[in-house]
Chain A
Amino acid sequence: MTAQGEKGGKVSRRTFLKAAGAGVAVAAAAGAGYYYMSTQPVGEKPPIKVGIMFPLTGVYSGNARKQLDGARLAVKEINDEGGLLGRPVQAFERDDELNPGVAVRRARELVESVGVEALIGCLGAHIVHVTNDYMKTTGKPYVASCIPVVETHKSGVRGPNTFFELPSTIQISFALADWSIENLGKKCYVIYADYAWGQEMFKYLKRRLDERGAEVVGTDPFPLGSTDFAPFLTRVLNSNPEVFAIGALGTDLVNCLKQAAGFGMKEKMKILALNNTMTDTLAMGVDVFSGVYSFLDFYWQLEYPSTKNMLEKWWKAYNEPPDTYGIGAYNAVREWAAAVERAGTTEGSAVTVELENHHYDWSKGDEWWRACDGQSIQECFVGIGKKPSDVKEKYDIFEIQGSEGGEEIMVSCSELGY
């Protein structure tokens, strides 16, 4: 396919192409220029830049948007209260697309090009894992706002300035095991999604159940993305447990619960979802969760003064109650900023010193940062889904049944290698 036209045609096409090429080059330069301008400070005092990164597109985007809300609210409040160290805080938002390659790329760009003093965010254990690894090399604080896997906690893996705001798989599993033994029963059947998160939840759940005298009557891993739980459900029914624990998320969890309901399992045993949020339940269908127990990191009907405070603020800003991931991101930003203020500098190790062992209560009662591994020690709640007839208004979907918390539901520092 050659372009041998008449001489006239060839020249004009070449000229066109040159002009187009020049135009593209100019546009690209303009774009790059604009981009760099946007990262330069505005106003008189240079702002303190912070990076916030969540999977704003993809399967977790629902919860990620809540995280963005939380982070933005925190930044706004800080600035309204006079800024940080007398300077305004400027947040740079990024989408990690739930992809480790993208996450590191964006983190790099935030730290190296934009020049952020800290990175906050995440949703997805594998994302935290690689982001933590990168942030280690920068020396800047990284406050993760999602559930990490144990590997990321371990000595040598975790960066010295990395902190985890949401409870780890260990805390959740231990808390659920403890509470369930007290309140639901001692014979337990566990099914779990066969990948890192599910495997870990199961491992620590079983460990705690075994330690505390409960009986795991059966377990089954299922492939992620399963649509068909009937084979597992028939086996659960045959084992006749008191508690049926499900380590699944999203559509897996919905499918499983729907099918379990179909088999009449809600009446025959107590069903426990190993992870859940209000946001997810609303998206998946309140009726699916009625009568089902779930782990809840946070719920807007908690009785703490800070919760009521948070509820008011959040409602005003977003016209809905706050939820797990929004709170996680909010807490993370607030804690980082408060530590910076106390330290008098944004420098990584100084901020870390201020965070270690520090207690805080922004939203759900007392929480504190464990020094050895940066894990936030906090209460883990269990709620039961309300029957649709009991639901008084849109967000009134759970009833908190109890909680477990404190350092007892976390493994010791030495076990992690510290």
Chain B
Amino acid sequence: MATSQSLVSTERLRPTVSLIIVALLFVFAPYILPPSIAADILVFSLFALAFDILFGHMGIVSFGHAAYFGLGAYGAALFLTYAKLPPTLLWLSILAGVLLAGGGAWVFGFLSLRRSGLYLALITLAFSQMVWFVMLKWTDVTGGENGLVNLPTLVFQIPGVFTVNMNSPILIYYFNFVVVFVAMILLYRLLYSPFGLIIRSIRDNEERVGFLGYNVQRYKLMAFIASGLFSGLAGALYCIYQRFVALHTLDWIMSGDVVLMTLIGGGGTYFGPILGAAIYIGIRDIISFYTAWWRIIVGVILVIVILFFRQGLWGMINTLRGR
């Protein structure tokens, strides 16, 4: 496990280059991979990065993170469905999703953080399931199992200069890419700022950080909310790309998925979650063309990773590179 000091000093040298490489990979992804798989990897990379704020950097396992992804997706969808606004203002739906997710993270985080470890994980699971049931039963508003479809497309316009109607998948993909890229940079700055340092210190030795005079609970909650906000952003973008929202964005399988991605890729590192998202989606979507039994493959990988490669793939790569 790398110390926070080395994270700040060494990972800072390479990241600009690495970030550019990642960005380029995403730019060309729709032409290398089937576009919908590329879009999924894009969105879920963000989700995994958001999740990793808690998982890798804070050492907290949330088993109900789908709640924030789903709230982001539903928030955006509900806004698109019910807010009677001109198309040029529909991009606000993303904000709606983010805020709804952030709000949820604030409430659930506040409650969940009163416990730790296993209990915390189970509480987050319970909350996530509650959100799932509300969305399921509130059929009039959320469409229940049908979800919300028929969502209007976003339009970007600078009057007199240009109008872009986001009605093609490629356009939406690149729009998502821009947003995700900006979010990644923001996340990077967050994680490798003093705030991030404190977070990781809390992970390593909570008591000591408390003795140093920091309000540990407050930092935990801030990290939780930040994680919720970015997860919500991922969810909102997912909804925009898919042009519909359904319950699978909220179920415990989605929660489990993001844990898997982050674990396999490597928590606590910057590129681990991105790698994990790519690997997991690659397995799930590409392997399932050849066999229906992709779950057992994922299960075996998970078991092996937990037993032997707890730092995940990227973590392992980092360790071998001497970081």
The answer to whether A and B interact is yes
Interface residues of chain A, those whose CB is within 8 Å of chain B, are 1-3, 10, 13-14, 17, 28, 31-32, 35, 56-57, 95, 99-101, 104-105, 108-109, 112-113, 125-126, 129-130, 132-134, 137, 149, 151, 156-157, 195-196
Assess whether B146 is in contact with A149, with CB atoms less than 8 Å apart.
yes
State A130–B242 Cα separation when bound (angstroms). 10
B218 CB, nearest partner CB in chain A, Å: 31
Known: A1-B310, A105-B40. 5 other contacts (CB 8 A): A1-B311, A95-B288, A126-B146, A156-B150, A195-B144
Residues of chain A within 8 A (CB-CB) of B1 are 1
Assess whether A100 is in contact with B244, with CB atoms less than 8 Å apart.
yes
State A299–B147 Cα separation when bound (angstroms). 33
Assess whether A196 is in contact with B248, with CB atoms less than 8 Å apart.
no
* A101-B292 contact, Cβ under 8 Å, with A1-B310, A17-B320, A156-B150: no
Assess whether A31 is in contact with B286, with CB atoms less than 8 Å apart.
yes
State A17–B320 Cα separation when bound (angstroms). 9
State A100–B251 Cα separation when bound (angstroms). 13
Residues of chain B within 8 A (CB-CB) of A1 are 1, 310-311, 319
Residues of chain B within 8 A (CB-CB) of A126 are 145-147, 246
Residues of chain A within 8 A (CB-CB) of B203 are none
Q: Mark B304-316, 1 if CB is under 8 A from A, else 0.
A: 0000001100001
B144 CB, nearest partner CB in chain A, Å: 6
Residues of chain A within 8 A (CB-CB) of B317 are 17
Verify if B32 is at the interface (C-beta below 8 Å from A).
yes
Residues of chain A within 8 A (CB-CB) of B144 are 195-196
State A112–B34 Cα separation when bound (angstroms). 8
* Residue from A2, A56, A130 in contact with B244 in the complex, judged by beta carbons closer than 8 Å: A130
Verify if B37 is at the interface (C-beta below 8 Å from A).
yes
Residues of chain A within 8 A (CB-CB) of B243 are 133-134, 137
A193 CB, nearest partner CB in chain B, Å: 12
State A31–B248 Cα separation when bound (angstroms). 28
Residues of chain B within 8 A (CB-CB) of A14 are 320-321
* Residue from A28, A35, A104, A132 in contact with B242 in the complex, judged by beta carbons closer than 8 Å: A104
* A101-B146 contact, Cβ under 8 Å, with A3-B319, A109-B34: no
Residues of chain A within 8 A (CB-CB) of B292 are 56-57, 95
State A129–B147 Cα separation when bound (angstroms). 9
Assess whether B36 is in contact with A195, with CB atoms less than 8 Å apart.
no
Q: Which of B128-144 contact A (CB under 8 A)?
A: 139, 144
State A125–B145 Cα separation when bound (angstroms). 9
Residues of chain B within 8 A (CB-CB) of A35 are 34, 286, 289
What are 10 residue pairs bridging A and B, where the CB atoms are less than 8 Å apart in the complex? A2-B319, A3-B319, A35-B34, A95-B292, A104-B244, A113-B34, A156-B150, A195-B144, A195-B145, A196-B144
Residues of chain A within 8 A (CB-CB) of B288 are 95
State A195–B169 Cα separation when bound (angstroms). 32
Closest to A99 in B: B248
Question: Using a Cβ–Cβ cut-off of 8 Å, how many residues does chain B contribute to the interface with A?
Answer: 36
* Residue from B35, B169, B249 in contact with A101 in the complex, judged by beta carbons closer than 8 Å: B249
Assess whether B145 is in contact with A196, with CB atoms less than 8 Å apart.
yes
State A232–B60 Cα separation when bound (angstroms). 46
A197 CB, nearest partner CB in chain B, Å: 9
State A112–B317 Cα separation when bound (angstroms). 35
Assess whether B147 is in contact with A130, with CB atoms less than 8 Å apart.
yes
A-B pairs, 10 with minimum CB distance: A133-B149, A100-B246, A108-B36, A113-B34, A101-B248, A126-B145, A57-B292, A129-B146, A109-B34, A3-B319
Residues of chain A within 8 A (CB-CB) of B248 are 99-101
Verify if B282 is at the interface (C-beta below 8 Å from A).
yes
Assess whether B319 is in contact with A112, with CB atoms less than 8 Å apart.
no
Closest to A101 in B: B248
Q: Mark B147-161, 1 if CB is under 8 A from A, else 0.
A: 101100000000000
Closest to A130 in B: B244
Residues of chain B within 8 A (CB-CB) of A57 are 292
* A101-B242 contact, Cβ under 8 Å, with A1-B1, A2-B319, A108-B35: yes
State A125–B144 Cα separation when bound (angstroms). 12
Residues of chain B within 8 A (CB-CB) of A157 are 149-150
A142 CB, nearest partner CB in chain B, Å: 13
A251 CB, nearest partner CB in chain B, Å: 18
State A133–B140 Cα separation when bound (angstroms). 19
Assess whether B244 is in contact with A32, with CB atoms less than 8 Å apart.
no
State A13–B309 Cα separation when bound (angstroms). 14
State A263–B37 Cα separation when bound (angstroms). 53
Verify if B33 is at the interface (C-beta below 8 Å from A).
yes
State A100–B169 Cα separation when bound (angstroms). 18
State A196–B144 Cα separation when bound (angstroms). 8
State A269–B199 Cα separation when bound (angstroms). 68
Residues of chain B within 8 A (CB-CB) of A130 are 146-147, 149, 244, 246
Verify if B167 is at the interface (C-beta below 8 Å from A).
yes
Closest to B244 in A: A130
Q: Which of B1-50 contact A (CB under 8 A)?
A: 1, 32-37, 40
Residues of chain A within 8 A (CB-CB) of B37 are 105, 109
Residues of chain A within 8 A (CB-CB) of B145 are 126, 195-196
B184 CB, nearest partner CB in chain A, Å: 23
Residues of chain B within 8 A (CB-CB) of A105 are 36-37, 40, 285
Residues of chain B within 8 A (CB-CB) of A13 are 320
Residues of chain A within 8 A (CB-CB) of B40 are 105
State A56–B319 Cα separation when bound (angstroms). 42
Assess whether A133 is in contact with B244, with CB atoms less than 8 Å apart.
yes
Residues of chain B within 8 A (CB-CB) of A109 are 34, 36-37
Assess whether A125 is in contact with B36, with CB atoms less than 8 Å apart.
no
B171 CB, nearest partner CB in chain A, Å: 12
